[in-house]
């Protein structure tokens, strides 16, 4: 039971890095053939892939930042949201 608690923080830090590495590998156009001239919505295909991967990385980053940080309780987020709602 104790080994699971010690490995959990390590796994929670490694998997986002792995996702970012996969997104970088997909977003960089080094695997596209040199003479590929595909056009998608008026731009080269590799540009569209880079834009889509960039958007996915942005959404993933926003999702990560929305999640509670390790050691942060969910209750503290709820109490801070209600105190900053602007109502008096």
DSSP string covering 53-67:
HHHHHHHHHHHHHHS
- Establish if 83 belongs to a structural domain: no
Judge whether 12 and 38 are in contact, CB under 8 Å. Answer: no
Taking the model in full, what pTM does it have?
A: 0.65
- Whether 38 maps to a domain, the answer reads yes
Number of structural domains the chain divides into: 1
Q: What is the pLDDT of residue 3?
A: 45
pLDDT at 60 over 50: yes
Position 53 scores a pLDDT of 95
**Average of per-residue pLDDT across 74-81:** 58
Q: What is the pLDDT of residue 69?
A: 73
- Indicate whether 79 belongs to any domain: no
In a domain, 82, yes or no: no
Note whether residue 87 is domain-resident. no
Residue at 74 is within a domain: no
Task: Give the model confidence (pLDDT) of 6-58 as tens digits.
Answer: 456 666 678 999 999 999 999 888 888 888 888 889 998 888 999 999 999 99
- Tell whether 78 is covered by a domain: no
In a domain, 44, yes or no: yes
Q: What is the pLDDT of residue 2?
A: 46
Domain housing 15? 2-69
Label residue 86 left, alpha or beta by phi (over 0 means left) and psi (-120 to 50 means alpha).
Answer: left
């Amino acid at each position: 039971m104790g080994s699971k608690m010690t490995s959990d923080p390590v796994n929670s830090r490694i998997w986002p890095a792995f996702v970012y590495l996969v997104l970088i590998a997909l977003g960089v156009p080094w695997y596209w053939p040199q003479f590929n001239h595909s056009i998608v919505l008026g731009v080269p295909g590799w540009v569209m892939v880079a834009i889509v991967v960039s958007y996915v990385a942005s959404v993933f980053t926003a999702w990560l930042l929305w999640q509670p940080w390790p050691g942060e309780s969910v209750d503290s987020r709820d109490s801070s949201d209600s105190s900053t709602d602007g109502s008096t």
